[in-house]
Structures are given as structure tokens and as C-alpha cells.
């Protein structure tokens, strides 16, 4: 188990486009494991490689019980349906949340950690997490697209439930 340091805004790496993974090496698998451990340690639901300072197109997400842990290489959204508006936060921008408009359902295609092509369709929080993490791969932060940004407080979080 290796916990990596999470890069914080305004670090430049968060604003750059990540490069596709060309070859699935043991180092790529180790990075996916480290990202998983880092995400769980930080109590997040998703993490993209740029958030640990690596400009590779890798994401990890654990946003629902149906799919469990998703580790994806070179993910791309291939379809989007519906719309949702909701609060988002980010491990790279502690203390801030924002209201972000996203697709309600997305289908994402990429490779799993064994190099096999996979497609996953998710709605709600999983769809939001996919869009948020793939935005990270393109150098986009939720604060760039939020309709409103505000300080995170536990009281506000409880009042929204």
C-alpha cells in the first residue's frame, strides 16, 4: 500500500492534458494501485493520475455498490444522456464545493488493468464521478465549469441531505 501526495490547486499539472497510456507496464499497474490506496485514504470517490502529479490517462473510481472499484486506462465518454445539477468537491481543491451541471447517465470506454477493453454505463454519482475524473485528464477542474463555487462546511452538507 502506497499513499501518494495529492497535488493541490494551483499546481500547473492540474491544468495540463494527460497523455494516453501506450503500453500497459507493471509501473502502470502499480500506479493504479497507489491511486486506489490514495483515494481510499483521502475518503474520495475518484482520483485521476494528474492529481498525484502524473500526466497519464488513468482514473480510479469507487462511487457505487453495483460497480465497486473501477480502474480505467485511457477512458473516454462515448455517450451522455440527461442532465443533473449537483454539488461537487475535489481532493485537489479542499474546502471548496461547486454546483456543476453534468449528464445524468454516461457510457465510458477504456481499458481495465489487464489491458482489456471495457465499457461501463453509470448514472447519478457514478456518472458525475466519471465526468469529473475525465475532466481532470483534460486539465479541467470543477471550479472551471461550476455555476456557483462556495466554501464547504459540514453544516451546509447536512442541510442538503
CATH of the domain at 21: 3.90.45.10
132 is in an annotated binding site: yes
pLDDT, residue 3, reads 97
Residue 6 in any domain: the answer is no
**Contact predicate 109/122, CB 8 Å:** no
The pLDDT, as a whole number, for residue 154 is 63
pLDDT digits (tens, 9 = 90+) for 44-100: 999 999 999 999 999 999 999 899 999 999 999 999 999 999 999 999 999 999 999
Q: What pTM was estimated for this model as a whole?
A: 0.93
Is position 136 annotated in a ligand binding site?
yes
Q: Which residue segment(s) compose the domain that 136 sits in?
A: 12-159
Q: Does 2 show up as a binding residue in the annotation?
A: no
Q: What phi and psi values does residue 129 have, to the nearest 5 degrees? A: -65, -45
Positions marked catalytic: 133
**Residue 3 resides in a domain:** no
- pLDDT over 50 (residue 158): no
Q: Count of domains in the chain? A: 1
Asked whether 42 and 91 are in contact (CB, 8 A), the reply is yes
Q: Is residue 135 part of a domain?
A: yes
Amino acid at each position: 500500500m502506497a499513499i501518494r501526495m495529492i497535488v493541490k490547486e494551483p499546481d500547473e499539472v492540474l491544468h495540463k492534458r494527460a497523455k494516453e497510456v501506450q503500453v500497459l507496464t507493471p509501473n502502470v499497474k502499480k500506479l493504479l494501485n497507489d491511486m486506489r490506496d490514495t483515494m481510499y485514504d483521502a475518503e474520495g470517490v475518484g482520483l485521476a493520475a494528474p492529481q498525484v502529479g502524473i500526466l497519464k490517462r488513468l482514473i480510479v473510481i469507487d462511487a457505487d455498490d453495483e460497480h465497486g472499484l473501477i480502474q480505467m486506462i485511457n477512458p473516454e465518454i462515448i455517450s451522455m444522456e440527461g442532465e443533473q445539477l449537483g454539488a461537487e468537491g475535489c481532493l485537489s481543491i479542499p474546502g471548496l464545493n461547486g454546483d456543476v451541471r453534468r449528464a445524468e447517465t454516461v457510457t465510458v470506454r477504456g481499458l481495465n488493468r489487464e489491458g482489456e477493453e471495457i465499457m461501463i454505463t453509470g448514472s447519478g454519482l457514478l456518472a458525475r464521478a466519471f465526468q469529473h475524473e475525465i475532466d481532470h485528464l483534460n486539465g479541467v477542474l470543477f471550479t472551471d465549469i461550476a455555476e456557483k463555487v462556495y466554501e464547504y462546511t459540514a453544516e451546509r452538507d447536512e442541510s442538503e441531505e
